[in-house]
Structure formats: structure tokens, C-alpha cells
């Protein structure tokens, strides 16, 4: 069992260094987009900005190795299970939020990453479970 965890950490570290094209120790939007386009051609590139926002805990516009490690499992699960866009967005957002319920503030940020400008007042709820989240997103997409 411990071997799997070590193997996963090694894989995560290897992928981080592959994505980090300039070897800066930080991953930016362009590096993520290039990696996803080259390795997962069916992955919706529009989600790159969303993943960056959700993974970038310190808000500096880049993902460091710790932030990447924390978010790696979500990305892997999303691409491995061939989720649709709304499922990927919900999974990534709920992990970032640390809850199955998404706040309307986070929902506004998610929608903005998807190119949709709305205010909290325009949303139907103050908190969204998975079903509500899917309905809300789908009405704007």
C-alpha cells in the first residue's frame, strides 16, 4: 500500500516537471494549457483557467509544487474517468472549497472563469450541492 502512495508522489513530481516548461518551479496558465492540449486532446481547455484559479491557493497566478500536489488527484480523476465539463468543474470546485456545497461567491468565480459574468444576486441559491450546481452551470452554458 505504501508503494502506491510513493509511486503516485513520484508520478506527480514527474508530471509537475514536465508541465513546468521553463523549470521555474512554478506552473502558469500557458504551461497547463500546453500540457493538457498535448496529452488530453478531448479535455476542455476552458477549464484550464478554472483549475488555475482553484489550485492557486496563494492567488499569485501560478501553481507551485505544493499547490499542484494538493490538486493533482482532482485533475487525474477528471481525465481518467472522462467526466463531462460540468462534472469536472463541480469536482474541482468542491475539492477546492473543501465541501460538497459550493458557495455562491465561488460559483460567481467559476462562472467568470468560464467567460460568464454574473453577480451573486443573479444566482438562484447561496449554496449549491452537486445537483443545484449542475443546474446553475447548465443554465449559463
pLDDT, tens digit (0-9, with 9 covering 90-100), for 30-85:
998 898 888 877 777 777 888 888 888 888 989 999 888 877 776 676 666 666 77
Number of H helices, E strands in the chain: 7, 4
Does domain 2-140 sit in CATH 3.40.630.30?
Answer: no
Residue with cell 496563494: 58
What is this structure's pTM? 0.65
63 and 71 Cβ atoms separated by less than 8 Å: yes
**Cell for 114?**
468560464
pLDDT score, position 2: 43
Instruction: With a cut of 60, say whether residue 97 has pLDDT above it.
Output: yes
pLDDT score, position 78: 64
Quick: pLDDT tens for 122-134.
998 889 999 999 8
Mean pLDDT of the chain: 83
124 and 136 Cβ atoms separated by less than 8 Å: yes
Q: What span, in angstroms and rounded, lies between the C-alpha atoms of 55 and 48?
A: 10
84 and 42 Cβ atoms separated by less than 8 Å: no
93 and 54 Cβ atoms separated by less than 8 Å: yes
Amino acid at each position: 500500500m505504501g508503494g502506491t502512495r510513493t509511486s503516485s508522489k513520484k508520478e506527480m513530481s514527474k508530471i509537475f516537471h514536465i508541465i513546468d516548461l521553463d523549470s521555474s518551479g512554478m506552473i502558469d496558465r500557458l504551461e497547463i494549457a500546453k500540457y493538457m492540449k498535448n496529452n488530453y486532446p478531448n479535455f476542455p481547455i476552458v477549464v484550464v483557467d478554472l483549475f488555475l484559479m482553484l489550485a492557486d491557493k496563494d492567488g499569485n497566478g501560478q501553481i507551485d509544487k505544493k499547490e499542484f500536489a494538493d490538486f493533482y488527484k482532482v485533475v487525474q480523476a477528471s481525465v481518467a474517468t472522462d467526466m463531462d465539463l460540468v462534472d469536472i468543474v463541480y469536482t474541482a470546485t468542491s475539492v477546492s472549497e473543501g465541501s460538497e456545497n459550493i458557495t455562491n461567491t465561488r460559483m460567481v468565480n467559476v462562472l467568470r472563469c468560464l467567460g460568464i459574468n454574473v453577480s451573486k444576486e443573479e444566482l438562484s441559491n447561496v449554496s449549491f450541492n452537486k445537483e443545484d450546481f449542475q443546474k446553475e452551470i447548465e443554465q449559463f452554458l
